[in-house]
Amino acid sequence: SIPLPASSVVVGGRTDFGLGYSTTGTIERLASREDPAHPPQLVVTTDAAAPPPPTTPTTTTVPSTADTYVFNGAGTQNFGGATPLLLSAASYRSLLRFDTSLLATTTSVSSLALRLSATVGLASGGVQVPAEPDGWTEAGTTWSNQPAWSSQVAATATTQSSPGWIVVALPVSALVAGANTSLGLSYSAAGMIERVSSREDTAHAPQLVI
């Protein structure tokens, strides 16, 4: 056996070696591959416990595929085509849907955020985001038939005093991989109405950043 440095192995290619002898006037004789019982052999030992190479994180931005708001003052009216979306502490609620069906259920998600474009600035309060069941339609949902509103707020983001983008950091548990992810929007401060662009405003549509 001749110990060789690991660097002499060409991983993913062909490894070639030459053979010589160190003493002048002496001839060594080795079996070739034509001697099937004694052909030359290269013995490579790999470290099975070595960790896999690190993967590079990727960021995916998913636009909303449906959105609407409901208003308790118009119990049977649908606002699926409206922009902006309205949200408040009691009277207005908004719903957003994102197609996350292309994400495998085994996907490792390190962060999740919702981006909303506020069309007005509010000096106090914040946007509240509960996770919602997906049983609603953009063109048919009203205050009267809206899905059961979750009392569990997944995240809240303070709004700024001027219009602009709001980023709501969400727990990764709010993501439904392999299906639609549905979210609700309300506002934390009573007596205030926040307005955020809907998907009809293509330059400022809601986005889910994964």
**What is the pLDDT, as a whole number, of residue 20?**
87
**What is the pLDDT, as a whole number, of residue 144?**
97
SS3 129: strand
pLDDT band at 7; cut points 50, 70, 90:
confident
Q: Is the pLDDT of residue 55 over 90?
A: no
**What is the pLDDT, as a whole number, of residue 48?**
66
Q: Is the pLDDT of residue 91 over 70?
A: yes
**What is the pLDDT, as a whole number, of residue 50?**
66
Q: How far is 175 from 43, CA to CA, in rounded Å?
A: 48
**What is the pLDDT, as a whole number, of residue 12?**
77
H or E stretch including 6?
A: none
Nearest by Cα to 208 from 98, 59, 94: 98
Whether the bond into 5 is cis, omega within 30 of 0: no
Q: Under a CB-based contact definition with an 8 Å cutoff, are residues 166 and 159 in contact?
A: yes
Q: How far is 83 from 168, CA to CA, in rounded Å?
A: 20
Percentage of the chain exceeding pLDDT 70: 98
- Mean pLDDT in residue range 144-148: 95
- Mean pLDDT in residue range 12-18: 85
Q: Under a CB-based contact definition with an 8 Å cutoff, are residues 149 and 205 in contact?
A: no
Terminal alpha carbon distance of the chain: 53
pLDDT band at 116; cut points 50, 70, 90:
very high
pLDDT band at 155; cut points 50, 70, 90:
very high
- At position 104, the amino acid (one-letter code) is A
Higher-scoring residue by pLDDT: 50, 150: 150
Q: Is the pLDDT of residue 185 over 80?
A: yes
Q: What is the mean pLDDT of the chain?
A: 92
Q: How far is 103 from 176, CA to CA, in rounded Å?
A: 9
pLDDT band at 68; cut points 50, 70, 90:
very high
Whether the bond into 84 is cis, omega within 30 of 0: yes
